[in-house]
Amino acid sequence: ELRYDPAAIEPKWQERWAQNPAMYAAEPASTGKQKYYVLEMLPYPSGQLHMGHVRNYSIGDALARYMWMQGYNVLHPMGWDAFGLPAENAALKNNTPPREWTLKNIAAMKRQMQRIGFSYDWEREVTTCLPDYYRWNQWFFLRMYEKGLAYRKQSKVNWCPQCATVLANEQVIDGCCWRHEDTLVEQRNLEQWFYRITAYAQELLEGLDKLPGWPEKVRTMQRNWIGRSEGTEVDFGVEGEASKIRVFTTRIDTIFGATSLQLAPEHPLVPELTAGDKDLELQISAMIDEQKVARETDNLSNLEKQGVFTGRYATNPFNGERIPIWVANYVLMEYGTGAIMSVPAHDERDFEFATKYGIEIRRVIREVGESEEETPLPFVSEQGILINSGEFDGLICEEGQDKLEKYAEAHGFGEAKITYRLRDWGVSRQRYWGTPIPMVNCPTHGLVPVPDDQFPVLLPDQIEITQEGGSPLSKVPEFLNTTCPVCDGPAKRETDTMDTFVDSSWYFYRYTDAKNSAGPFAPEIAQYWFPIDQYIGGVEHAILHLIYSRFWTRVMRDLGLITNDEPATRLFTQGMVIKDGAKMSKSRGNVVSPDDMVARYGADATRMYALFAAPPDRDLDWQEDGVAGISRFLGRVYRLVQRYAATAKSADAATNNSAPPAGTSLALLRKLHQTIAKITLDFSGRWHFNTCIAAIMELVNEITAAEAALASGEVPVPVVAELLRNLVLLLAPFAPFLAAELWEELGGEGAILRAPWPVSDPGLAKEDEIEIPVQVNGRLRSVVRVSAEADNATIETTALADAKVIEWLAGKKPVKVIIVPRKLVNLVVK
Ligand code: ANZ
Ligand code: ZN
């Protein structure tokens, strides 16, 4: 018997597909055909696909193939997120220019993808580090600059005093320099570029409610990231100063309980309030360093609370009360106003702080139905009644918030304020391998945009990457020195490059019109393809990439380039691939290489295992045995089809008028049509491909078990043909090489990718009889067979007549009969 040999079958088809690029090519928008845009997140070209990629892309590939078979015009592109620090590090290590290193990696990974048989339209490949792509980053930058959405402001950067240079965030390790591990990184103020994402904060938040096709957890993460908070800003006077301190609070109703003001260590008023006190200044600068380290390691909320008294006092605008001004490490400059009124009786953190430093704790809210003394501390609930609050006593909290806010507004010392946690997107990077920011600094004209007709501002190719750090482009005179677009006099280029998240914020629009040299894409083409019907990727991108993409989409919409508000209607986040319960990583030494798997078991088995071993949204523990098992299964399919291919092929219209199926034929056809129905349903959104593949296995088992009937002719030739042809069609999204091979063996017409997806015949799929488990007092005691259409009364009678049930009831009459239609009978006896 023939041996299943993927090493022979797969390269043959790979070759044929390569020779026919139209196979995976999207048809032009002008066809007006129903479109389907399926997108997987593009990889960083590290040099090697990992199993997480294989899984992600196998999911997308199965979907794309299915949609093609359903007759859609499918767009299924791939590209490379090709800028970023690793290329610079590799350049340092191996002395290869970043561009060369990156392009070599891309070539290698593209070969891997083609070997695995992913159905990408390579004519639309996007490589973000090439000028034909990044020139449009520059173009967008200027469009945003013109609209005030790109702007420059002083902002903190990491500074290593030893290197005397700016460090990228990635070069700060535990708050210290990557090359001087004992040197604490400082913060310096430098001019940096920002995108004004906060202008869209409210819209980005509201849009989440209109994305039912996105996982709830992703939407929640984005909501929290945007962090909308409704509150009040209130001005406190400062004794001996003209300036006031503005605080942001969500609980103005508690203001009579404010027993101190707390400033962030970096609050601009702090130097003035502490001037001359060296000791204080030292303590505060230590706090700043401590916050910085905590910020880097995402540990801010766990800091042990610390503070210092400035010796100065503020005045509560409501009652003129004098309260001390402190500086505290749990107040952050980047949120609200960088200053808070501290109400220890009604806030956990303030309570902890006040307890530690002996600051007064004064209740201004009592619990409903309790006295002041009985109200527990801290009492943070808003279900309470105001006390010790002058004319506002007796109000319930919510009313209090409203009344006190109005009072503050009327007296000119406060106003309602909506605060977002979301910050503007800092896009300046002092790196080489990124998109140059298209700005020029002229001594006479200041900051001048590079005119569109001078695009792209090319990233110089030959540059020496050194250990020195700092903006590498500032050390390339040919790049740095230019002329002013206004006066033609000598000027200097901006040497920062853009954050690589810029590249990935809109790459999927470029796919629709990847070769356009007049614009990022033609609006009418994007209009046809957008929004993306299904986006698939890792949940680690739930926030940054997916928020930036949603922002960018709105900016493009407001530039008149597109009409959609959101980039993707549906989002799917797949689980991780792990090995022995742990994430695959070089350091753990548990990495399974896709190349290895493909060499040993073939691409079909590898990708099918990636879909079979777990539901796609769960983590998958990679087991080589499992891949071998899939390979054996595919071998069985291969031999089964081989054995009957000639028979099936001989089926033609003439033999097709046989009698309605019965017996074995009927049973097999029923199984087939049930399998078709199940897989079709899963493709419509549930995507439990693991159970789809299991269903195909069951189908193959049933056909194999009935082989005597196939061989004897008891199952007529047309039925054999129907079974085998459909089996192969069902396999096509999951094991495309084998399916193509067997499709040809069966004499299938044209490419299997364009063969219509089978339609389940509900009459055939229907069961005549079903089995229903019967429980007595919740324990399984028997199984009865009833007609699939049986009503509850019939099911009950049948169950009560069952011999085993009679025995278990031992003469008692059930006090209750619970029937779950088609599923279960439970008899309750006393
Ligand atoms: C007084 C108060 C009394 C507060 C009370 C809470 C409870 P969200 O909901 O997250 O917006 N806060 C304001 N700015 C801060 C900053 N820069 N760093 C640290 N904490 C800050 O939280 C708003 C509350 O967090 C504000 O309301 C403020 O404390 C604090 F019984 O003001 B509250
Ligand atoms: Zn000039």
- What digits encode the pLDDT tens for the residues 327-342? 999 999 989 999 999 9
Residue 656: its pLDDT value, please? 54
Contact present, 389 and 364 (Cβ < 8 Å): yes
Ligand nearest to the CA of 448: 2
Please state, in angstroms and rounded to a whole number, the distance separating the CA atoms of residues 501 and 505.
6
Q: Does the pLDDT of residue 431 top 90, yes or no?
A: no
Angle between helices 717-731 and 736-745 (to 10 degrees): 160
pLDDT in tens, 753-783: 999 999 999 988 887 778 899 999 999 999 9
Q: Does the pLDDT of residue 657 top 70, yes or no?
A: no
**CB-side exposure of 364: number of CA atoms within 13 Å?**
26
Q: How sure is the predictor about 588, in pLDDT bands with cuts at 50, 70 and 90?
A: confident
The fraction of the chain above a pLDDT of 70, given in percent, is 97
pLDDT in tens, 672-682: 999 999 999 99
Q: Does the pLDDT of residue 388 top 70, yes or no?
A: yes
Q: Is the ipTM of this complex over 0.85?
A: yes
Q: How sure is the predictor about 725, in pLDDT bands with cuts at 50, 70 and 90?
A: very high
Helix (H, G, I), strand (E, B) or coil at 395: coil
Note if the bond before 531 is cis, omega within 30 degrees: yes
Contact present, 1 and 43 (Cβ < 8 Å): no
pLDDT in tens, 81-104: 999 988 888 888 888 899 999 999
Residue 1: its pLDDT value, please? 67
The fraction of the chain above a pLDDT of 90, given in percent, is 80
Q: How sure is the predictor about 644, in pLDDT bands with cuts at 50, 70 and 90?
A: very high
Ligand 2 centroid from CA 206, angstroms = 44
pLDDT in tens, 277-332: 999 999 999 999 888 878 766 777 888 999 999 999 999 999 999 999 999 999 99
Mean pLDDT of 187-211: 95
Question: Which of 250, 259, 422 best tests ligand 1's pocket when mutated (most atoms within 8 Å of CB)?
Answer: 250
Please state, in angstroms and rounded to a whole number, the distance separating the CA atoms of residues 825 and 774.
5
Residue 12: its pLDDT value, please? 97
User: Which residue's CA lies nearest to atom 12 of ligand 1?
Assistant: 340
Q: In DSSP terms, which residues pair with 419 in a beta bridge?
A: 229
User: Which residue's CA lies nearest to atom 26 of ligand 1?
Assistant: 249
Q: How many CB atoms lie within 10 A of CB 258?
A: 29
Ligand nearest to the CA of 445: 2
Which runs of E-coded beta strand occur in 202-332?
228-238, 245-249, 260-263, 307-315, 322-328
Mean pLDDT of 24-50: 95
Residue 651: its pLDDT value, please? 76
Q: Does the pLDDT of residue 146 top 90, yes or no?
A: yes
Contact present, 24 and 119 (Cβ < 8 Å): yes
- Own/partner contacts of 205-210, CB < 8 Å, gap of 24 or more, are 207/550, 207/565, 207/566, 210/565, 210/566
Nearest one of 323, 329, 316, 380 to 356, comparing CA atoms: 329
Question: Which of 347, 350, 404, 405 best tests ligand 1's pocket when mutated (most atoms within 8 Å of CB)?
Answer: 347
Q: CB within 6 Å of ligand 1 — which residues?
A: 229, 248-251, 254, 264, 330-332, 335-336, 338, 340-341, 343, 346-347, 419
User: What is the amino acid identity at position 206?
Assistant: E
Give the helix/strand (H/E) hosting 636. Answer: helix 624-650
Q: What is the pLDDT of the chain when averaged over all its residues?
A: 93
Residue 655: its pLDDT value, please? 54
Residue 168: its pLDDT value, please? 66
Ligand 1 centroid from CA 340, angstroms = 7
Nearest one of 458, 579, 393 to 129, comparing CA atoms: 458
- Own/partner contacts of 292-297, CB < 8 Å, gap of 24 or more, are 292/175, 292/185, 292/187, 293/174, 293/175, 296/169, 296/172, 296/174, 296/175, 297/174, 297/175
Ligand 1 centroid from CA 282, angstroms = 26
- Domain 34-128+501-587 belongs in CATH node 3.40.50.620: yes
Instruction: For 228-420, give the CATH class.
Output: alpha beta
Ligand 2 centroid from CA 137, angstroms = 24
Ligand 2 centroid from CA 486, angstroms = 5
User: Cα-flanking dihedrals φ and ψ of residue 218, to 5°?
Assistant: -70, -40
Q: How sure is the predictor about 467, in pLDDT bands with cuts at 50, 70 and 90?
A: low
Residue 170: its pLDDT value, please? 65
Residue 766: its pLDDT value, please? 86
Q: Is 217 known to sit in a ligand binding site?
A: no
Nearest one of 62, 155, 186 to 604, comparing CA atoms: 62
Domain ranges of the chain: 34-128+501-587, 140-155+190-196+425-498, 228-420, 623-765, 769-828
The topology under which CATH files domain 623-765 is: Isoleucyl-tRNA Synthetase; Domain 1 (1.10.730)
Instruction: For 769-828, give the CATH class.
Output: alpha beta
Ligand 2 centroid from CA 142, angstroms = 18
Mean pLDDT of 412-433: 93
Q: How far is CA 756 from the centre of its chain?
A: 32
Mean pLDDT of 204-220: 97
Residue 461: its pLDDT value, please? 87
Q: Indicate the burial class of 712 (C-beta count within 10 angstroms; 0-12, 13-18, 19 or more).
A: exposed
Report the nearest atom of ligand 1 relative to the CA of 343: 3
Please state, in angstroms and rounded to a whole number, the distance separating the CA atoms of residues 617 and 277.
57
Ligand nearest to the CA of 446: 2
User: Which residue's CA lies nearest to atom 22 of ligand 1?
Assistant: 250
Ligand 2 centroid from CA 487, angstroms = 4
Q: How far is CA 637 from the centre of its chain?
A: 36
Q: Does the pLDDT of residue 654 top 70, yes or no?
A: no
Mean pLDDT of 444-451: 97
User: Cα-flanking dihedrals φ and ψ of residue 413, to 5°?
Assistant: -120, 15
Give the helix/strand (H/E) hosting 177. Answer: strand 176-177
Ligand 1 centroid from CA 245, angstroms = 15
Q: In DSSP terms, which residues pair with 825 in a beta bridge?
A: 774, 819
Mean pLDDT of 592-608: 97
Mean pLDDT of 165-177: 74
